[in-house]
């Protein structure tokens, strides 16, 4: 149906229902004319307004619909953009917070490194860029070198690995295995700090318990300083004033009661050029031995570690002839004191060359060739020019592969730890190679009554021993479990090949003895009780001793210890000013010591 026809019907229907006159009739005629006559262009003029009106209405509705859709889309986009903006702001705030933390850490590092520079006037701006440049110039100043020492007097400890001997030894905790240092905070003026923080002093360096404080660390080596010392109160007034030796000679016993800063040892240790190349240098003094030879000792050793199986050292160290001289000092039950059997049989400290390492996973060895049994107080001019002093040790730890440092279960082993050791020492000694009787930290070749083997006429008129061959074997066993420990050691010694006037028919002299020690950590890493005893058997006497003691560790570590001990001596064959027992002593001795080992 065309537009004119539709319009015609509409007008006709309207006109037929209308009561009006001429106006409607005229409209009807006009409509009839438009509908019946052929369409000519000029005749559309009247209907164009209606078409325009209809088109305008449709366009208006379409425009309104588009406008509403646009508003909805704009609102949705606006909400999404606002959410994204908030997220972005949150991320920027978090990034800014992280940058502030990084900046603070950088400033702390810079301030800690400034101490290595000469004091200079402060920069007027104190910009971060200048501080970062300073930090870059000092990047060589860092911690992280491994510290591992093998020496005659220091237990072998390592701070690079999680060695159970270190972690369980009750020592202070370090930052981490790579040697992270604790730094003090010296805030930059641009940061917000309290007055107390601004006044906090510099703190630098790393502390490794029993190995000391690291004072230098570079790409060419490092240096740590460690100190061992103890003060002792000693009371020997309960001893008999005299004793009679095996040859009927009555001798006086020097009884003492005094306070002494008994020993001071300052150690310098670290590596040089290569971490496998180690040095251990020290100075020590026995203040109770003032005025005697070897009262002050400056010594040390150098070593190089090729692998776990083989390391080599040269210098001065203890000959590894018994367990106490393997290198576990100062981790003994008593403070710097042994039972008399160990003191009687053991070799001492000497110059030489040695090797150590692992023959198998749980089997360790030490082998040393030295100048003599004791180099302390003996000059090179007194030596016999022969490398005939040899000492070895072999230690097997079958159950755990370790036994902890020294005696007693301070480490508190959760699994039963066991060890079995064998030692052998041989040396040709002469009168000059043996120091005087009271030399610091020294042992003598003595008979069971305490008489030095080189004493003239002890075996008869005109008989003087000038040379002797010393051979000593030693076997030990021990166990540790849940704070308890039990250790036993058996000694065998032969003296023969005597030289000197009248010694042609002198027979070999055999001595043997043993010692037992037991301990219990009554309060773990805090309070320890222990008992010990030893005895000797031989042609010239059967001396023995007994001791009971207590160790108090106020800081739950082995750095500081208060030790109190009761001794009972029976014809002690050994004794000098550095130890609490007296030569020939009979009776009780009490002493108490405060020990520091850092």
pLDDT tens sequence across 182-217? 333 344 444 444 555 556 666 677 888 878 999 999
Contact 593, 563 (CB under 8 A): yes
Residue 410 phi/psi, 5-degree rounding, is -60, -30
Tell whether the model's pLDDT for residue 237 goes beyond 50: yes
Query: Is 525 within the bounds of a domain?
Result: yes
Query: Is 278 within the bounds of a domain?
Result: yes
Tell whether the model's pLDDT for residue 74 goes beyond 80: no
Contact 128, 106 (CB under 8 A): yes
Query: Is 64 within the bounds of a domain?
Result: no
pLDDT tens sequence across 465-497? 999 999 999 999 999 999 999 999 999 999 999
pLDDT of residue 296: 79
Query: Is 40 within the bounds of a domain?
Result: yes
Nearest to 288 by CA among 581, 596, 577, 589: 577
Which structure tokens are listed for 208? 């490794």
**How far is Cα of residue 422 from the mean position of the Cα atoms in its chain?**
29
Domain CATH code at residue 487: 2.40.160.10
CA quadruple 479, 485, 488, 489: dihedral, nearest 10: 90
Which structure tokens are listed for 269? 């240790």
Contact 486, 511 (CB under 8 A): no
Contact 255, 239 (CB under 8 A): yes
Task: Measure the CA–CA gap between 416 and 418, rounded to whole angstroms.
Answer: 7
Which structure tokens are listed for 306? 């090729």
The range of the structural domain enclosing residue 564 comes to 209-597
How many other CB atoms are found less than 10 A from the CB of residue 2? Answer: 9
Task: State the number of CA atoms in the 13 A half-sphere of 333 facing the CB.
Answer: 27
- For the chain, the straight-line distance linking the first and the last C-alpha, in angstroms and rounded, comes to 114
Instruction: State how many domains the chain has.
Output: 2
Task: Return the SS3 of 259.
Answer: strand
Query: Is 136 within the bounds of a domain?
Result: no
Q: 325-349 as b/e, with b when 16 or more CB fall inside 10 Å?
A: bbbbbbbbbbbbbbbbbbbbbbbbb
pLDDT tens sequence across 79-112? 567 677 787 877 888 888 888 877 877 777 777 6
Query: Is 202 within the bounds of a domain?
Result: no
Report the percentage of the chain scoring pLDDT > 70.
68
Which structure tokens are listed for 553? 């560790």
Highest mean pLDDT among 93-102, 279-288, 515-524 belongs to 515-524
Task: Measure the CA–CA gap between 418 and 63, rounded to whole angstroms.
Answer: 96
Range name among 19-23, 29-33, 438-442, 577-581 with the lowest pLDDT average: 29-33
* Enclosing H/E stretch for 149: none
Task: Measure the CA–CA gap between 126 and 76, rounded to whole angstroms.
Answer: 49
Query: Is 307 within the bounds of a domain?
Result: yes
Tell whether the model's pLDDT for residue 39 goes beyond 50: no
Query: Is 287 within the bounds of a domain?
Result: yes
């Amino acid at each position: 149906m065309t537009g004119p026809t539709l319009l015609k019907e509409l007008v006709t229907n309207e006109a037929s229902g209308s009561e009006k006159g001429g106006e409607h009739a005229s409209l009807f005629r006009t409509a009839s004319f438009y509908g019946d006559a052929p369409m000519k262009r000029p005749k559309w003029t009247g209907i164009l307004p209606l078409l325009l009106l209809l088109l305008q209405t449709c366009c208006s509705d379409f425009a309104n619909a588009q406008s509403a859709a646009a508003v909805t889309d704009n609102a949705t986009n606006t909400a999404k953009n606002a959410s994204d903006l908030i997220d972005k702001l949150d991320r920027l705030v978090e990034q800014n917070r992280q940058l502030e933390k990084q900046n603070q850490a950088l400033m702390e590092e810079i301030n800690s490194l400034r101490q290595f520079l000469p004091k200079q006037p402060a920069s007027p701006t104190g910009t971060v860029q200048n501080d970062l440049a300073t930090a870059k110039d000092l990047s060589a100043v860092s911690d992280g070198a491994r510290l591992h020492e093998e020496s005659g007097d220091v237990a072998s400890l390592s701070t690079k690995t999680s060695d159970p001997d270190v972690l369980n030894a009750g020592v202070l905790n370090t930052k981490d295995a790579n040697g992270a240092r604790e730094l003090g905070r010296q805030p930059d003026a641009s940061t917000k700090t309290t007055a107390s923080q601004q006044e906090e002093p510099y703190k630098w360096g790393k502390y490794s318990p029993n190995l000391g404080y690291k004072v230098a660390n570079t790409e060419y080596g490092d240096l740590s300083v460690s100190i061992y010392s103890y003060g002792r109160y000693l009371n020997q007034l309960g001893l008999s004033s005299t004793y009679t030796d095996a040859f009927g000679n009555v001798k006086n016993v020097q009884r003492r009661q005094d306070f002494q800063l008994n020993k001071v040892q300052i150690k310098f240790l670290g590596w040089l050029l290569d971490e496998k190349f180690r040095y251990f240098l020290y100075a020590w003094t026995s203040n109770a031995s003032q005025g005697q030879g070897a009262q002050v000792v400056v010594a040390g050793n150098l070593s190089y570690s090729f692998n776990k199986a083989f390391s080599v050292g040269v210098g001065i160290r203890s000959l590894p002839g018994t367990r106490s001289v393997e290198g576990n000092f100062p981790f003994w039950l008593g403070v710097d004191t042994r039972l008399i059997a160990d003191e009687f049989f053991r070799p001492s400290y000497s110059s030489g060359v040695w090797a150590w390492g692992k023959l198998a996973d749980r089997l360790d060895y030490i082998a040393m060739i030295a100048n003599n049994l004791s180099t302390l107080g003996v000059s090179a001019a007194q030596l016999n020019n022969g490398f005939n002093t040899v000492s070895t040790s072999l230690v097997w730890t079958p159950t755990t592969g370790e036994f902890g440092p020294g005696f007693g279960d301070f480490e508190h082993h959760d699994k039963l730890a066991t060890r079995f050791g064998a030692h052998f020492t041989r040396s040709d000694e002469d009168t000059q190679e043996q120091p005087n009787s009271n030399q610091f930290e020294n042992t003598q070749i003595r008979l069971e009554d305490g008489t030095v083997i080189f004493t003239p006429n002890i075996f008869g008129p005109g008989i003087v021993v000038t040379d002797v061959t010393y051979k000593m074997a030693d076997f030990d066993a021990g166990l540790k479990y849940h704070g308890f420990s039990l250790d036993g050691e058996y000694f065998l010694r032969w003296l023969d090949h005597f030289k000197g006037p009248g010694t042609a028919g002198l027979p070999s002299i055999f001595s043997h003895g043993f010692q037992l020690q037991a301990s219990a950590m009554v309060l773990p890493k805090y309070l320890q009780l222990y008992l010990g005893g030893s005895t000797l058997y031989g042609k010239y006497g059967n001396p023995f001793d007994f001791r009971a003691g207590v160790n108090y560790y106020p800081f739950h570590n082995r750095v500081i210890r208060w030790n109190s001990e009761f001794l009972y001596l029976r014809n002690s064959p050994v004794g000098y000013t550095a130890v609490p027992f007296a030569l020939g002593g009979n009776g009780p001795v009490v002493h108490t010591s405060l020990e520091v080992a850092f």
